[in-house]
């Protein structure tokens, strides 16, 4: 069975939440059934299929966010929240 495509919002909606230095607050749900990104208040909510083992979920978050923004994953850096659900990333727009 094919996996459904991730539900991604407009890149401008995500980029509008970034501060002047390009930092974004994220709320991550690892081990989700479907991958999705939504804008909830002042945070970006991201659901990924990857489990939170050996940094797999963090890597999946960066890849999915990069895909939604139309950027390379190397242009997104995890600043804070390596082991928690609340994360802070810097995006080089």
Q: Are 29 and 85 in contact (CB under 8 A)?
A: yes
Question: Tens digits of per-residue pLDDT, 17-76?
Answer: 999 999 999 999 999 999 999 999 999 999 999 999 999 999 999 999 999 999 999 999
Domain assignment present for 2:
no
Does position 3 have pLDDT exceeding 80, yes or no? no
pTM of the complete model: 0.93
Expressed as residue numbers, the domain containing 17 is 11-91
**Residue 12 pLDDT:** 95
**Residue 1 pLDDT:** 63
Higher pLDDT, 5 or 88: 88
CATH number at residue 74: 3.30.1200.10
Domain assignment present for 46:
yes
Domain assignment present for 6:
no
């Amino acid at each position: 069975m094919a996996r459904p495509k991730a539900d991604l919002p407009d890149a401008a909606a995500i980029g509008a939440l970034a501060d002047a230095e390009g930092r974004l607050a994220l709320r991550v749900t690892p081990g989700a059934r479907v991958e999705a990104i939504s804008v909830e208040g002042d945070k970006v909510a991201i659901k990924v299929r990857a489990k939170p083992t050996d940094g797999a979920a963090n890597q999946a978050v960066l890849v999915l966010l990069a895909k939604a923004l139309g950027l390379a994953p190397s242009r997104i850096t995890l600043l804070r929240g390596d082991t928690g659900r609340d994360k802070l990333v810097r995006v080089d727009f």
